[in-house]
């Protein structure tokens, strides 16, 4: 039985992540989506919220587990008897960092293989940060994240930045106006 872990921050899960998860579930006997509890980052969502978001988004997949972990990914992979660490590759610029991570993990745990899946073309530009940035400035993120996640992000920005207009789509020119030039 081949178990793969798919580690990441998932703050929040995007349709790009979901694409990788769905394809992984066809390739491996079991896939574990592993959310890193990272004390060095200030995330938008708590680990518990991210676990719930991912569970809801992947409820249709039976050979999938969603879990949180601390510390080194290879230690968690060993604990879960996973032979594969799965990562998605979007663009060439991802590669340098991902290759460094794969080599580090291989050095620490030679029995574990890193497997890269090329992200589907339509999601090659997509990241959690891009999604948060669009929502922050009032753009629509409905086509980038599962519906329930979009609602949670909108709610979050309404709470923290009441002036933003997250329910209006990107066509809202008001949010693109220059602060210094009233004609723009």
Active site residues: 17, 41, 90, 128
Q: Among 154, 147, 181, which Cα is nearest to 57's?
A: 147
8 binds ligand PNS (CB under 6 A): yes
Of 7 and 12, the one with the shorter C-beta distance to ligand PNS is 7
Nearest distance from residue 180's CB to ligand PNS, in Å? 36
Binding mask of the shown chain, residues 99 to 138, with x at each position contacting ligand PNS by CB under 6 A: --x--xx---------------------------------
Question: Sheet of 113-118: strands edge to edge?
Answer: 64-69, 30-36, 3-8, 84-89, 113-118
Q: Identify whether 64 is preceded by a cis peptide bond (ω within 30 of 0).
A: no
Nearest distance from residue 134's CB to ligand PNS, in Å? 18
**CB-neighbour burial class of residue 165 (10 A; exposed 0-12, middle 13-18, buried 19+):** middle
Query: How many CA atoms are closer than 13 Å to the CA of 114, on its beta-carbon side?
Result: 20
Judged by CB under 6 A, the chain residues 16 through 55 that form the site for ligand PNS are 36
Interface residue with ligand PNS among 4, 5, 7, 138 (CB under 6 A) is 7
Residues that bind ligand PNS (CB under 6 A): 7-9, 36, 72-73, 101, 104-105
């Amino acid at each position: 039985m081949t178990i793969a872990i798919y580690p990441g921050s998932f703050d929040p899960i995007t349709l790009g992540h979901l694409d990788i998860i769905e394809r992984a579930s066809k390739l491996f006997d079991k896939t574990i989506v592993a959310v890193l509890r990272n004390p060095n980052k200030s995330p938008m969502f708590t680990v518990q919220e991210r676990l719930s978001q991912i569970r809801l988004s992947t409820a249709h997949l039976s050979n999938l587990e969603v879990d949180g972990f601390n510390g080194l990914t290879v230690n968690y992979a060993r604990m879960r008897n996973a032979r594969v660490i799965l990562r998605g590759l979007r663009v060439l610029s991802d590669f340098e960092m991902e290759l460094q991570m794969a080599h580090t993990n291989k050095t620490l745990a030679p029995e574990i293989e890193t497997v890269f899946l090329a992200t589907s073309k339509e999601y090659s530009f997509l990241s959690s940060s891009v999604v948060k940035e669009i929502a922050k400035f009032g753009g629509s993120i409905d086509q980038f994240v599962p519906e329930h996640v979009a609602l949670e992000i909108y709610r979050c920005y309404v709470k923290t930045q009441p002036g933003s207009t997250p329910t209006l789509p990107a066509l809202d020119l008001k949010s693109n106006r220059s602060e210094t030039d009233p004609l723009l």
